[in-house]
Each structure stands twice: as C-alpha cells, then as structure tokens.
Structure 1
C-alpha cells in the first residue's frame, strides 16, 4: 500500500537522477565537484533555523534548491531568509515538513521526543537528513538514552517511519561555512542510512552544498562519527576519511 508521502519520495528520486546525470557530465568535462548543481531543484524543509539549519539551508538555497526554514515563530526568521536569497522562505515546522521532498532536522536533541509526538505521522516515508547531536549539559534524559543505546538507535526511535540519513552532524557549523566549495579538494561529510535511495539523495545534497559525501554504511554506523567518537570533528578529504573510518567501498 502506498503512503501519502510516496509521490514526494518519487519526485526527489527523479530529481536525484537528473542531478547524477549532470554530475557525470561535469566529471567527464573535467569540472570540479563545486561546479555541479542539481538539474532540478529539490524542496527542502528545514526543522530549526539556528546555526546549522541556516548554514546548510543557505548553501542549498544558493545551489538552487527551494528551502523552507522553520520555527514556532516563523515571523522572526524574516531577516535570516532574506539573507539567504530568493530560494529561501520561512514557515512553521508542520509547513516545512509538508513542503519538503527532503526534511533536514537541525534542532537541539532534547526536542526529538516532542518532534516525534507532534510530527511522526507527517515524517513517515520522508527522506530525513538528521544533523542532531546530544550533549549532556543541554539535552538531559535524551543524552542518557544516547549514551546507553547510541545516537543511531535513538534517532531511529524518534524518527520512526522516516527514511533517516545521519549527516552534517560530524562538525561545527563554522567548519561547514568555512569549507563549502573550497578549492584544493572538497571536505568529506560522512553519511549513514539504511535506505539506499535516501542515501543517494542525501549524497547529492552533500555535493550540492559544496562537500564530498562518504557513505559509511547502514544507520548503525553513524555512531562511528557521532559527537564524542574518533570520527567526529575531522576536516579530511574523502579518501582520508574512508581510511580513518575503515570504509572500504
């Protein structure tokens, strides 16, 4: 039985196909990855408009994607979205989820239980890129869950039903802002997820943001680059990151 979100997933996959064709053409022509942009825009709903949400959302907007940043008070986001250009707009979380072919989660980890309570149905079947990290000082009981079970399992619990890919969580937003589309070799971004199509879509969005994706493996492997792990906070090229994390493919 198809779900209501299936057409969005198919549309995102079609966009991915066009983007990969364009990327192949760029590589054949000898163009750098930073010159590659999606053939068609993806609609991306960003849950959270703080440092990481506005940084990565802004990179996607500048790459030609349609981006909706969200908060409970979207009227307060006017200056942020104006600074990101005409492809960016503001809404509340429900609007951003409905808007997005892909949803980017960029809120404090302590908000995940409430996020699940309020939006589990709306997120079901969606491609969700999860950038959250758990810290003891900020996230309370949820941090304890992560310490006990690992962040991959806890994200899977609270984002149950979504096609979750962990990504853009392995460094500070300032590192992303500094290194997007840099010359001399792209910064590698590790990603992990269980759905191959969702992983492929996330990988293309990593490229569009100006980085080089490294597919680490299934979602459980996200613990290898979680905050506090040896894979966190690294500024490496793709081959270097694969070696560091023991990724062989």
Structure 2
C-alpha cells in the first residue's frame, strides 16, 4: 500500500475512535498524518505520536493535502471553513441522534448529509468516504491490493478528479474503492440504508447500492425528492 502521488499529507479533524483508526491506517500507508481535536492538541499529543502521527490545532490540520472529517455530524458548523477552502475534504461523518440530538435538518431524505456539509464548506471539494464501515472493522479488515477477501469502501462525489484522488486514498488504506455516484448518492451510505455497516467485498457492496432504489429507505428518499 502506497500513498497517493498527489496527496502526501492527511489531516484528520476528530481524535475519537474513528479518527484514531484512520490515522493509524494512513500512517501505515505512508502518509504524513496531522490529527486535531477541538482546541489545544496537548491532551492527545502523546497518544497520537505513539501511532506515528502529529497532534495539531484544527486550523493546521486543515492545511493538509486532504482532510478527513471524523467528528460528530452535529458539530459540522464548527469546521474551519475558510481554512478548508480549496481543499479536498473526505466526509466520514454520520448523523446519530444519541450524539447529535434530534435534528430533522440532519435526517432529511431530500438531501444527503454530505450535501449539507458541502453547502457549509462551499469553497471545498467534499467527497463522502469511510462512513459506512465501523471503526473496528476498518482497523481489522485493511488488506493490501489484490489480497483475498479484501473489503470495499464506497465513496460519493461530484468531481471525477476528486473521486480518483479519494480512490487512491481508500486503496492505500487497505480497501477496494467503489464509486457510489455523485455526492447526493452518499445518502445510500447513511444510517437506514443497507450499505450502512457493510463490511463486504466490492461486488456485494455494489449489489447493495444497486438495490437501494427498491429498498425501504430508497423508496422514502425517492418520494421525498420527487415531490
């Protein structure tokens, strides 16, 4: 597994379990990794250094070649939007009512949550990635390209060049990338969809995505979007 030739540094906003697992995978893949929590990085500095990454302020992590959002979705309005302007942003966030509270604006079938993030980060290029597989599985299932039983990560984005860049990152971190479609297709990877929680090879993940329109969640989304 080798890092993308165009992306050498990954910033990770979020130092919880998901952010830490992604940081560890990225370091193993050869990326320089900057991890940020909200505020002073000192409390996480030792733990982050132990996996080969560097703890920094959020605004410094936002200066990386690509930035992963691994925060509770309800905190997306706290993101350093100006610092992220022009950056490739990987949205790994999900709406959880237990963490985010009851938020109809984050559970709206008219739009994907990544589109909501994109509207906030209007100067950034957002791609949905790394949200549908649990952090335990991400840590345990990473495999080199071509390995038997390699699992897949779905991504969604509007720009083919950004999708190509994120494809390289997903592959480098140990998974087969599957393009779900434009950013709006990220709704197929959210809680309530069959692909959410998927820890499966690429062919099975593609089948889940193809079946989404006829699923219960897919029918709800279609009705909402065609009113």
Stretches of structure 2 lacking an aligned partner (at least 5 in a row): 212-227
Corresponding residue of 2:225: none
Q: Does 1:132 align with 2:93?
A: yes
Corresponding residue of 2:130: 168
Give the ranges of 4+ consecutive aligned residues of structure 1 lying more than 4 Å apart after TM superposition: none
Corresponding residue of 2:208: 244
Stretches of structure 1 lacking an aligned partner (at least 5 in a row): 1-35
Corresponding residue of 1:30: none
Cα separation, partners in 2 of 1:176 and 1:39, compared to 1, 3 Å? closer
Kindly state the Cα deviation for residue 39 of structure 1 after the two structures are TM-superposed: 6.4
Q: Does 1:220 align with 2:192?
A: no
Corresponding residue of 2:84: 123
TM (normalized to structure 2)?
0.85
Deviations 1:100-150 (A, max 9, x none): 0001111111111122xxx21111111000000111122135x32122243
Kindly state the Cα deviation for residue 78 of structure 1 after the two structures are TM-superposed: 2.1
TM (normalized to structure 1)?
0.78
Q: CA RMSD in A?
A: 1.7
Residues 49, 70 of structure 1: 8 Å contact kept: yes
Deviations 1:175-213 (A, max 9, x none): 101111175221100000011111111111111111111
Corresponding residue of 2:29: 63
How far apart, CA to CA, are the structure 1 residues paired with 2:30 and 2:85?
A: 26
Deviations 1:1-42 (A, max 9, x none): xxxxxxxxxxxxxxxxxxxxxxxxxxxxxxxxxxx3136561
User: Going by fraction, where is helix more abundant, 1 or 2?
Assistant: 1
Q: Does 1:47 align with 2:13?
A: yes
Kindly state the Cα deviation for residue 63 of structure 1 after the two structures are TM-superposed: 1.0
Corresponding residue of 2:105: 145
